[in-house]
Structure formats: C-alpha cells, structure tokens
Amino acid sequence: MFKTRDGSPFECSICTDRDKSARNCRNHKDLLDGAQAVRAYTDEVTRELGDKGAQKVFSLGDVRLYECPLSYLTEDTYCLMRLVFLIEDSGFLLYAGGWGEQPHWLVEAFEMYKVERALALRGGKN
Ligand SMILES: [Zn+2]
C-alpha cells in the first residue's frame, strides 16, 4: 500500500475518484452520523451501510470508520487532541485557575478523552 512521507496510507490529494469513492472521502455517500464511525452495529447502522454500499475504511480499537479518516477528523479535532495531550502531559491548564476557569468546550473535550481512553484500556484487556 502506498504511504505518504509521514507514514499515513491516506493522502486525499493524490487519490483517484475511485479511491475516494471506496474510502468515502468527505462522506460523499452521505452516511448518517451514526454510520460514519461505528462502535456497535445496530439494525439502523447495518441497514444504512448496506443501502449505501459503504465499506469499512479504518479500525481504531473498537471504532470502525466508514469515512476517510482524513476528512472525518478535521483540523480542529487534531488541534483539540493535541491540546488535551499537552494539558495531560504538562499538568497545566489552558487558563490560570482550576477547571472552573476553563472554557466549557475544553472541559468537554478532556472528559471525552478520559472516557475514550478508559474504553480503549478496557478493550485492550479483553
Ligand atoms: Zn480521503
């Protein structure tokens, strides 16, 4: 498989239309929200994937992506993830004071990270 310089097998700018279709870049198959990143195959998700002929593009732990990871994870998401890692590694928050002084979106992002990490750790032990 072709890999870019940073080791990623995904490089939307050089993909053919066929590649983009196969990887559902920018969700051009117009999958419903719950069917783009799947943790559990409910009847609704299974029907949606079947109806639109979507194929799994990428797995990360127990999450299966049915959209190209480069378009599913936006630049904002990457920035937020880096900020959360930085806060955890450094022990410093974004603004002075405690968690009560932080913007709501940051508190929410940190909580989501904690939940995802706990799920990933639990999954790793199964
Ligand atoms: Zn793509």
List the shell of residues around ion ligand 1, using CB closer than 5 Å: 12, 25, 68, 70
Evaluate whether residue 4 is within a structural domain. no
Query: 115 and 97, same structural domain?
Result: yes
Instruction: State pLDDT tens for residues 55-112.
Output: 999 887 788 999 998 888 888 888 999 999 999 999 999 999 999 999 999 999 999 9
Task: Tell me, yes or no, whether 65 and 20 share the same domain.
Answer: yes
Instruction: Determine the pLDDT at residue 126.
Output: 41
CA 92–ligand 1 middle distance (angstroms) = 35
Say how many Å lie between the CA of residue 21 and the centre of ligand 1.
Answer: 9
Decide if 5 is inside a domain.
no
Average pLDDT, integer, range 32-46: 94
**How far apart are the CA of 107 and the centre of ligand 1, in A?**
30
Kindly write down the DSSP assignment for every residue of 10-75, as one continuous string: --GGG--HHHHHHHTGGGTT---HHHHEESS--HHHHHHHHHTT----EEETTEEESS-HHHHS-H
Confidence band (pLDDT; 50, 70, 90) for 2? Answer: very low
CA of 122 to the centre of ligand 1 (A): 30
Residue 1 has pLDDT above 50, yes or no: no
Q: Judge if 102 and 55 occupy the same domain.
A: no
Element (H, E) at 60: strand 58-60
Give yes or no: residues 36 and 79 share one domain.
no
Tokens 């993830």 found at: 81
Provide the domain count of the chain. Answer: 2
Exposure of 93 by Cβ count < 10 A (0-12 exposed, 13-18 middle, 19+ buried)? middle
Ligand 1 mean position to 105 CA, how many Å?
A: 27
Beta-carbon contacts of residue 63 (< 8 Å; ≥ 6 apart): 37, 38, 39
Which pLDDT band holds residue 50 (cuts at 50, 70, 90)? very high
Q: Which domain holds residue 33?
A: 12-70
CA of 97 to the centre of ligand 1 (A): 40
Whether residues 66 and 16 fall in one domain: yes
Same domain for 60 and 37: yes
Question: At residue 29, does pLDDT exceed 50?
Answer: yes
User: What integer is the mean pLDDT of 22-38?
Assistant: 92
Q: Is 107 helix (H, G, I), strand (E, B) or coil?
A: helix
Mark whether 66 and 79 lie in a shared domain.
no
What local confidence, expressed as pLDDT, does residue 52 receive? Answer: 95
Q: What is the mean pLDDT of residues 17-43?
A: 91
Residue 1 counted as domain residue: no
